[in-house]
Structure 1
Amino acid sequence: MTSTEAAPGVLRRLEGPADAFPGALRAIADFVLADPAAAARMTIVELADRTGTSPGTITRFSRACGLTGYADLRVAIAEEAAGRTTANRWASDIGHEIHPEDPLDRVLQVLVSANSHAMFSTAERLDPQIVDNVSAALIGARHCHFFGVGTSAITAEELAIRLRRIEIPCWVWPDVHSALIAAAQSDNRDVVVGVSFSGRVTETIEVITAAATRGATTVVITHDAASPLAEHADLLLTTAAPTGDQPAQSMADRHAQFLLVDVIYARIAQLTHPGIVDVLERTADALQSHRLPPRPTRKRGRQ
């Protein structure tokens, strides 16, 4: 075979039965599989040196892969490694069940299914008593501080905005330095809320740990009850765990977190009713001048 086209799937061949590449050839195969991109950048002498073989053995290995020589092998490995990297990045950021060529209705179906699954799973594992405890802590706090990183920061900000409207004294911190200063100034009269889907974001762990040291009530929203962040929570709210094959996981995670925001906000509204009604009316009136009136309905047909 004289071209890379004659032997597609070189890396897949190397993943096959061990006896397909016996002895020294197996050592080369294992090295290439461990880091295909790095192997493709090496000269024949460099690869021989790294695998403890010889240039002649590398040439024999290339022929065992169905190629005429090492030059063809390097090209084949490089192309296949690049394809795998692109596929892996797409799968991790978009999902296994959404493909670039899918029609929009297929994309919509997958996303609705993923988001619904995340929300229903979160609802099933939600402890009403913990929700009440979190709500009571927020209602009675002197100061409430919220912090998250990335998409979890959006969740933290949304919860703070909701609660601020009903006169819960809230601050959401956009960076870890500001959040750490707030945590250092907190005490047992305050609540500090950390949001992290994984529970393993170091900045959020640092903020919640600092708040716990000061005696503040710490609230954590995460999916992993055994995560390092959860270890420092006085009150823990968990969202649905990832399913492994669930598509568009990061998008679904956000919807699960927002469900908890809705539940906390609604529960606080219930616990502070009827006094909250006057607050809602005043805040609505304050914003009324910034809203355009609805357009009159147009009648169809000739006038």
Structure 2
Amino acid sequence: MNDLTFRITQNYDNLTPSARKIADHLRIHYAEAQYLSISELATECGVAEATIFRFCRSLGFSGYNELRLAMAKASLGDTSQPYAAYTSYGEITAADTVETMAHRLYTANMEALAGTLARTDEAAVLKAGDLLEKAGKVYCFGSGGSQIIAMEAWSRFLTISAKFFTIQDGHAQVMAASLLAPDDVVLYVSYSGSTREAADVLGPARARGAKVLLVTHDADSPATGLADVVLLCGGHEGPLQAGSIAAKMALLFVVDLLVNEYCRRNKQATMRNKDLTTSALACRHL
């Protein structure tokens, strides 16, 4: 018996009727539930988010993230790899050939991209384009693995415009956010949208009147409540798969959409600046 099942069994008789609905659901579906946000699990169980949190505490978990980790550990078989990408084609096992492993990873990446395409909101992309086009300065921020995606966004935009910036240090991001102007934009990347770092940056940015463009996976995350525009990516990332390549590809797909939307609105300036930056770097090519 895994730790999660043991805790549920030990505490089941003391759970409220609503909490028992969660317990009954997890007993059967914990392998799938590990990929859900707290709001998504609440919807599936037909309870409030606060009930999910109280359920976590009743089992001795500090919060939902710890419960998700327990679900992930409970779902691991003897041959499963905790870092393997989630895919309908199955998880990577020690018995797989390299060819099978490659097919599984390919499927996971393609599913992440297909999921992102399915979640693409044309109106949101157009509104995001408006924000970027009219912005005085655009700061590309994120934390952890998402910071890498934010830096990639800045790198792409830097070849066509000088108004895009990035800061890697989290404390410096907060300071910069506290000094933004109303015509500035924060392009924030956070797969979960539920990190303290996101709240620490987006709160001051909104207080200054700056606009927030959020790239995330969870439509109901805390960060979405601080955003003017939300663009959603696909892909499923469990608590033992943080920073997966499939999730990064999904986020990069959204970044690519934003870059191309900005370019097509500013064709002449894009062509001119792209020529300037490419010429400036020509001497570095052997």
TM over 0.5: yes
- Verify: 1:163 aligned to 2:153, yes or no: no
2: CA distance, partners of 1:144 / 1:260? 16
**Aligned-partner residue type, residue 94 of structure 1:** A
Matches within 5 A, 1:134-153: 134-153=128-147
- Alpha-carbon displacement from aligned partner over 1:81-124 (angstroms, at most 9, x marks no partner): xx989869964422460123422111110111011111111111
1:207: which partner in 2?
Answer: 201
Q: Which residue of 2 aligns with 1:278?
A: 272
Report what 1:93 is aligned to: 83
Q: For 1:168 and 1:130, how far apart are their aligned partners in 2?
A: 24
Question: What is the TM-score when the length of structure 2 is the normalising length?
Answer: 0.68
Larger CA Rg, structure 1 vs 2: 1
Gaps of 5+ in 1: 1-9, 19-82, 293-303
Q: What's 1:119 paired with?
A: 113
Pairs aligned (count): 214
Larger displacement relative to structure 2 (273-282 or 251-260): 273-282
- Cα offset for 1:248? 8.8
Given candidates 206, 219, 225, the residue that maps to 1:225 is: 219
Please report the TM-score for the alignment, with normalisation by the length of structure 1.
0.64
Distance 1:88 1:217 in 2: 48
Alignment of 1:73-92 (within 5 A): 91-92=81-82
- Per the alignment, residue 108 of structure 1 pairs with 102
Q: Write out aligned runs for 1:254-273 (5 A).
A: 254-273=248-267
Q: CA deviation at 1:216?
A: 0.3
Alignment of 1:179-258 (within 5 A): 179-240=173-234, 242=236, 250-258=244-252
Distance 2:262 2:230 in 1: 17
Following the alignment from structure 1 to structure 2, what is the Cα–Cα distance between the partners of residues 177 and 88? 42
| Match in the other structure for 2:20 | none
2:222 aligned counterpart, secondary structure: coil
Q: Is the 8 A contact 1:179 1:207 kept in 2?
A: yes
CA contact (8 A) 1:139 1:168 kept: no
Distance 1:89 1:158, change over 3 A: farther
**2:237 and 2:244 in contact (8 A); partners too:** no
Report the alpha carbon displacement of residue 272 of structure 1 after superposing the two structures with TM. 0.4
Structure 2 alignment gaps of length 5 or more = 10-72
Sequence identity of aligned pairs in percent? 28
More deviation, 86-95/119-128: 86-95
What amino acid is the match of 1:145? Y
Provide the residue aligned with 1:62 in structure 2. none
